Amino acid sequence: APEDQRQELALRIQRIWPLLDLNRVEEARTAIAALHSTGNSEVLLQNAVLHLRQNNFAASRATAQKALEMNPADVRALELIMRCSVGDKRLQDGIEIVRRHAGQHTTTSVVQMFLGRVELHAGNVGKARAAFEAAKTAAPGTLDAVWSLIDLDIAERKLEDARRRLAPLIKGPNDIAATAKLGLIEQMAGNYKAASEHYRKVLQTNPREVAVLNNLAYILTEFLENPTEALRYAQTAKELQPESAAIDDTLGWTYYKMGLYPSAVRHLELAVKREPSAARNEHLGGPPLLFAQTS
């Protein structure tokens, strides 16, 4: 920065963040102390981060709460409070703090979104849904809450609700993301031909969308009896994400359906080794023919 700007408050405050990121603790502490008297909420937040880095959870939580009182919409303070609660094994206390704060700021969308994510992570699906609905009501023009509600609908297999929420997003700026979600919904509903059409549409615009490549390859192999076409999608997904167990499982199963058993075993074994599951073990076990061809 030019010499005449180096003492500006905003610049001095922002300079502390890279000091913290670089773990230059003493420099950060000195800079924070020099600005403490300003009462700036950002400085309080930085001090809370510094306390957290030193595992002083009580001091970090108290400082973050002061920052939150000054700037109630700053969910970074809520994030720090939750991290402190995890650190000192008082998770439920942290959740209660977030709930109380959200209850006092029902019209602040970002706070309601944060509450929704906390509740979802804690397994409280109903409370998460209520928070996301509150976030949508508080900020009707933003889509974060809508996407979260769509994901909840899909997770709970409320597929008609998910379709209804997606309908306004088709043929707009979010068309590709909405089409990918619609493909997943149709796949879950067992409408595999429709799902494949949605996935192909996504790949026309974004041919490197790994999850879509993998899903399309799987339904082509397993349900539409077209492993030859599936192979190129599965191979592309593998190139883009070589360490994925899900992709190795799809690729291995595709090779199996094509009768290429040695290649099938190699990828199915990788999938089980990386992330074992009942379905992957079943694919690897397979009919006796699989092992007869690889002996």
- Give the pLDDT confidence of 161-217 residue by residue, as tens digits: 999 999 999 988 999 999 999 999 999 999 999 999 999 999 999 999 999 999 999
Whole-structure pTM value: 0.84
pLDDT digits (tens, 9 = 90+) for 118-139: 999 999 999 999 999 999 999 9
Tell me what percent of the residues of the chain surpass a pLDDT of 70: 97
If pLDDT is split at 50, 70 and 90, which confidence band does 109 have? very high
Average pLDDT, the chain: 93
Q: Is the dihedral of CA 224, 227, 228, 233 positive or negative?
A: positive
pLDDT tens-place string over residues 235-275:
999 999 999 999 999 999 999 999 999 999 999 999 999 99
In order, the DSSP letters of 139-198 are -TT--HHHHHHHHHHHHTT-HHHHHHHHGGGTTSTTHHHHHHHHHHHHHHHT-HHHHHHH
